[in-house]
Amino acid sequence: MTVPPPGPAVPVCSAKGCREAAVWVLAWNNPKLHTPERRKTWLACEEHREHLSRFLGVRGFLKDVVSLSDWETREAGGDRDGGEEPEGSAADR
């Protein structure tokens, strides 16, 4: 078996079992664990954006939903809260 050479990582959706390209960033914070300014992130494809937003929203964790391109622009400009990289699968947390 041949392993492909490393290339730029394509961000994928955080929904369990989904491997679609992410187009949304869901910034969240668990107030019982995190300081108010800290932002954790989940990535979402178009299909799972609403589901993941609802999951975080009913718990009072969801702080912001922005397009991945806007999030990356904010990151490049240093305009992000909390300073964390987008994370992998929600199943990993």
CA–CA dist 12, 53 (Å, integer): 16
pLDDT tens-place string over residues 18-50: 999 999 999 999 999 999 999 999 999 999 999
Across the range 60-72, mean pLDDT stands at 95
Q: Look at 26 and 93; give whichever has higher pLDDT.
A: 26
Question: Is the pTM here over 0.85, yes or no?
Answer: no
Asked whether the beta carbons of 5 and 81 are under 8 A apart, the reply is no
pLDDT band at 92 (very low <50, low <70, confident <90, very high): very low
